[in-house]
Structure 1
């Protein structure tokens, strides 16, 4: 005759005033780890207590319950609540939802709660951040709600945007987190999958190799063409700039090289027209010149040429003094001597 399986009875739960709770010496957690007490307190203040605290009745020397409860599992939550009480943001007798344990060992409760809990897979966190974004939360709002920086939010969202095929491989431990980070450099899913297929045919799958393969054909932001055109002008023209959010990328990579060359040529043409207007007889422009092309040449200092009208000496206009002309001429004291040449006298001729 088969014996019926014994039914499991779960521990009861109840609300206990905070001022009736104390930390148990049986709590196995001794080393601080994870989110700080301050951050946990802010999270509880925002969302209230999401997980009950495990407690046991405190008994006196005769084994009678004293009305106090010790906490073998949930000490960090207790300390976060304690901080809120000290800040006068939580009442001293605020009810706290607790699971009351009576059988077994308190140390077992503490250890089991910490080691039987499966940590959240990083991909689950990435996708959760993406869900927040899809529901209308901004990156700043996500950062504030999760107590992380905006840059961390950007990184999580970028990781969640990798090809779904590669995310499945990562979830199955087919690649490392560092490799997944490298795939975020290029947002093209097809390109990501092509690079992964090429990597599976070789031996090296280092992140730096992944980044190099995904940026093949792109131009560094430090390239002289990019510096000449300007990243802002390139982006306004519809150009895509690839960025690495997980390590320094020196400004990123410009993906559309054809667009960059066109913008550079257009800007060169505009500047050449401005220089030609200065009066040079000819001007030649090019995005690049061969090494040593200036060897044997000398610089000429250009001077603005004069116009034909400016080459002639400037004439001084003649302005007669009509006032002096109208004045009577003075009479000479000796008219004959004054007006006759030497050897002549009036009425005589030699």
Structure 2
């Protein structure tokens, strides 16, 4: 028995089979090769690479019984060689390896199958960081993008994407290669213009999941995206750069970043004011706003003007109908469209010179960077003169304050005003329930002002019930019964000492009972400053308990009032077909439509009610308070 210990594995030298030159016509794709289908575009790119630098790596195959060689690894290279020669038959004169294709022959079928499996499963694509550096070195040596693409057998677009990262600091590419950041994070670093800051940010995000957007914010904390900022869109990148504004490109977001906010703000203000000055030559006033919209309430005290519609002659009206029919059938030529537009302009009308003498506009820049105009309006200080000049007539001429004896009467009936006051009271009373200290202060103040004897206190409840309760939802505590007020169970036995039992419930219960009784007794008096103070302190609003409906409000005012209110809330063009259709409806239909404007999201969407207009609708209340 031998004393020699056997090694666990037998070691022996492995000799790779020699490479032979095989004529192209003796090669074919073996059934062992798993890549039977390939991308033609990829083959074309690989053919470009082989035509430029030749075949670097031999293919592998197994000789069959007929002496032909079936390719088990390198089928793409074989296809690319054939395509390259088809394109340029003279290529074989310059590339000797294409005359006899370098081929490594497997000694047996088992080896051939192993090669086929390993070739297509064990190979590894070039790491993005290595690609970036390789492409960058070739570009530095003078190679252009098409040359790099043909050399590596890839698309030019892929080369451009990698070259965009070639100027990144070496530590960023090292982090990408080490897997400490991903390719998206590396792309974000292309916006950096301060290498020291870039390396600081790199240290902060290593091995941390950080979005590209956040990385860009860290690298450019004060940068302004010219594609999304309304000021930049309004001013324009060229105008910003023309006066020395600093900007850099975000290559992968296809955006430009601006770095001088003060300069941008100045250019924005100057351009907006120039637009206002040009418009003010036509109107009495133009007021520019910094916001992207006209804030709610800005035009609340102003009277709106509407252009004066024109009339067509009988001949023009006939021609208009004829052209409109052709346009509807989509057979109207360019000259006909111009004629139709001219007739439509007559119908749409225009503002008169008198209106322009008194009217003005609010001007701002919307989120898309375009000028937005709201108006025209007559200011309160010009209202009397506008009425006298008959620029404002009818409902629009009604005075807001200090109405004259012959001024138009209010659009609200006495019964409607009484209902609105009742619901306003309910809103304030309900809000008082959660402010017992305020209620007690009011009680003490009442005693101090009207002291009349030891606890000879009487609280008369103010009515809060309107004629119709549609859309009315007061705080349910205001309508609680006596037992419900104190939390008693129906049918429970009376307490032996009710006063002690009441006191035992604590101060919180006592304050709630007092607040309820005092809230119910609050009198409606909009002339009393204390009433207004209570309303302001409780932040009460009639809209907290009341939603206007056709039944409780819209059917109880005039059709003209509904027209004006619809225009005010929707901001639509009174000359467009949508509003004209609304205006032509019967009053009941208008009332129903106004209710939907307040309650139906689908109806609001049809009238393009955005968030700003929706907020106005939700806060709107009649101007009779």
Q: Which TM-score band applies after superposition, normalised by the shorter structure?
A: 0.5 to 0.7
Q: CA separation in 1, counterparts of 2:294 and 2:41?
A: 58
Partner of 1:74: 74
Provide the TM-score with structure 2 as the length reference. 0.39
Partner of 1:83: 83
Q: CA separation in 2, counterparts of 1:86 and 1:200?
A: 50
1:110 aligns with 2:152: no
Change (3 A) 1:147 1:56: closer
Partner of 2:29: 23
Q: CA separation in 2, counterparts of 1:34 and 1:192?
A: 41
Provide the TM-score with structure 1 as the length reference. 0.64
Change (3 A) 1:141 1:265: farther
Partner of 1:158: 164
Q: CA separation in 2, counterparts of 1:112 and 1:204?
A: 34
1:261 aligns with 2:265: yes
Change (3 A) 1:34 1:185: farther
Partner of 1:50: 56
- 259-268 vs 102-111, which moves further: 259-268
Aligned-residue offset at 1:125 = 0.7
Q: CA separation in 1, counterparts of 2:190 and 2:177?
A: 16
Change (3 A) 1:98 1:31: same
Q: CA separation in 1, counterparts of 2:159 and 2:88?
A: 31
1:172 aligns with 2:178: yes
Q: CA separation in 2, counterparts of 1:211 and 1:165?
A: 17
**Aligned to 2:102, which of 84, 97, 100?**
97
**Aligned to 1:241, which of 243, 248, 255?**
248
Q: Is the 8 A contact 2:168 2:189 kept in 1?
A: yes
Q: CA separation in 2, counterparts of 1:132 and 1:115?
A: 29
Where do 5+ consecutive residues of structure 1 fail to align? Answer: 61-65, 304-350
What SS class does the counterpart of residue 241 from structure 1 fall into? strand
1:134 aligns with 2:164: no
Aligned-residue offset at 1:49 = 1.7
Q: Is the 8 A contact 2:23 2:100 kept in 1?
A: yes
Q: CA separation in 1, counterparts of 2:201 and 2:88?
A: 56
- Between the two proteins, the alignment pairs up a number of residues equal to 288
**Aligned to 1:205, which of 204, 207, 210?**
210
Aligned-residue offset at 1:34 = 10
Aligned-residue offset at 1:42 = 2.7
1:232 aligns with 2:228: no
Q: CA separation in 2, counterparts of 1:149 and 1:302?
A: 65
Q: CA separation in 1, counterparts of 2:154 and 2:74?
A: 23
Aligned-residue offset at 1:78 = 1.3
Aligned-residue offset at 1:83 = 3.0
Partner of 2:219: 214
Change (3 A) 1:105 1:151: closer
- 259-268 vs 218-227, which moves further: 259-268
Aligned-residue offset at 1:172 = 1.1
Q: CA separation in 2, counterparts of 1:301 and 1:144?
A: 68
Q: CA separation in 2, counterparts of 1:289 and 1:87?
A: 60
1:223 aligns with 2:229: yes
Partner of 1:331: none
What SS class does the counterpart of residue 36 from structure 1 fall into? helix
Q: CA separation in 2, counterparts of 1:155 and 1:110?
A: 32
Aligned-residue offset at 1:226 = 1.3
Higher Rg: 1
Q: CA separation in 1, counterparts of 2:206 and 2:31?
A: 53
Aligned-residue offset at 1:223 = 2.1
* Deviation string, structure 1 residues 305-348 (Cα, Å, up to 9, x no partner): xxxxxxxxxxxxxxxxxxxxxxxxxxxxxxxxxxxxxxxxxxxx
Aligned-residue offset at 1:123 = 0.7
Aligned-residue offset at 1:108 = 1.4
Change (3 A) 1:198 1:47: closer
What SS class does the counterpart of residue 22 from structure 1 fall into? strand
Q: Is the 8 A contact 1:184 1:244 kept in 2?
A: yes
Report 1 or 2 for greater relative contact order, CA contacts < 8 Å, sequence distance ≥ 6.
1
Change (3 A) 1:14 1:140: closer
Change (3 A) 1:32 1:287: same
Q: CA separation in 2, counterparts of 1:100 and 1:144?
A: 28
Q: CA separation in 1, counterparts of 2:211 and 2:280?
A: 54
Change (3 A) 1:131 1:12: same
Change (3 A) 1:29 1:227: closer
* Deviation string, structure 1 residues 110-166 (Cα, Å, up to 9, x no partner): 223334433211111111222232223444654566565555333212333333222
